[in-house]
Structure 1
Amino acid sequence: MPRFAANLTMMYNEHAFLDRFAAAAHDGFDAVEYLFPYDHPAAEVKARLEENGLAQALFNAPPGDWAAGERGLAALPGREDEFRRGIDKALDYARVLGNRKLHVMAGIVASEDTRAQQRELYLKHLDYAAQAARGEGITILIEPINTRDMPGYLLNRQDDAHAICAEIGAANLQVQFDCYHCQIMEGDLAVKLKRDIARIGHIQVAGVPERHEPDSGEINYPWLFSLIDELGYTGWIGCEYWPRAKASDGLGWIRPYMKPR
């Protein structure tokens, strides 16, 4: 039976961020994820988790200046010190929140002329992050992201992500399989899941192409959820989508998979 985590960056936006934990728990979620917790003290976020009986499934390391269009620091030359401080900060939060999965974003490629140099730096920084996280029992995740939503992002394909993990060779470095991004860039989701499941550390879902609830569009999610179960995946599946209206009103698709709380 798949286990779902509400993405509080995208869902329940009718509530202030810290109030979204209670809203997700009220709707039957047992876990949450989000992009970044850093606007709030870790202890305050932890309190909301505990008050609502929620597990922390995933969040991202600091991405640089998100408002200015930065989408990660790991592949940005000249930002090495900031990247390392960001990993330290993320691990501090993870310790408090009980989080065991940390997504490290690559960043935007400055130009095709710099791609190889930036990729080399990306691998160096991923090795650093994996070593820093290993003693904490934390897995570092990398995620291929589609070029339509995030033009210029360094990592776009599943095979490239898995090749990077193999090259670095860290046991606690895995791939975040976002069905939405993968369908847009590559398709053939089932074949990729079967091929790569041993190194997939987290899965996310959304409808394609609009990125709403996964109950419409071109992906047959009920069939895919059965396949994911057959493949033995037992981790959380993040609901990283923009609800068509209020999040609570669009959860009919998930009810067959929810246990009463």
Structure 2
Amino acid sequence: MRYFLDISYRGANYHGWQIQENAVTVQGVLQKALSNVLGAKIDILGSGRTDTGVHASSQIVHLDSPKEIDAALIFRINGYLPKDICIKSARLVQDDAHARFDALSRAYVYRITLVKNPFEIGLAYYFYPPIEIDRMNKAAAILLQYEDFESFSKVHTDVTNFNCTIFHAYWERNGDMLYFHVKANRFLRGMVRTLVGTMLEVGKGRMSLDDFVQIILAKDRKRAGISAPPEALYLSEVEYPAEVYKHV
């Protein structure tokens, strides 16, 4: 039986999502827990990779299970997992459903605290104002006009296609917190954090909107801003077509 698991995790203690030799990763810890509780070797595949320190409030993985995964079994698996990884739910899917390739979109949220807040350590980026959110939203709106985001991708990756379709991108402020929301069909390695770092330059008045456009057109990572810290980034949603799910 193939399932989609909806999981959440805090990334601080992990070297990213994907299994690596001699490193503790979310995928590795989750696979071990599932294999132990289900009594069989379980391989899982996620909707995408998150980098070291990045969190997920909703990451989707698929697996083939020899047992029905109900609420009681989820409770048992969560008891085996460390406190910073949690399975939220499980849904039966078609036998060929794929967590990565069937995804229609992915969404991220980047959290910034505008005041020093000890309760946001490791969960948000402390960025001291003044900052012009209207200018940053104008920069975010520009993203929807383009598809090639090579300037915001990590270099020396195996990616040859830098095109992404961005469905929405905007900043919002709530009290002392600032959030960047972005949703696209796919993301490049390091893309969201580099977008955030570059738009913060726009917000502080160090970069014009025309400069921002020229960075996109340059297709050169050296032209963009610094990458914002990983601990404030969250994978927040992965969307699939309704037909991947089995209705029982």
TM-score, normalised relative to structure 1: 0.28
**Greater helix proportion:** 1
Greater C-alpha Rg? 2
The higher relative CO (CA closer than 8 Å, separation ≥ 6) is in 2
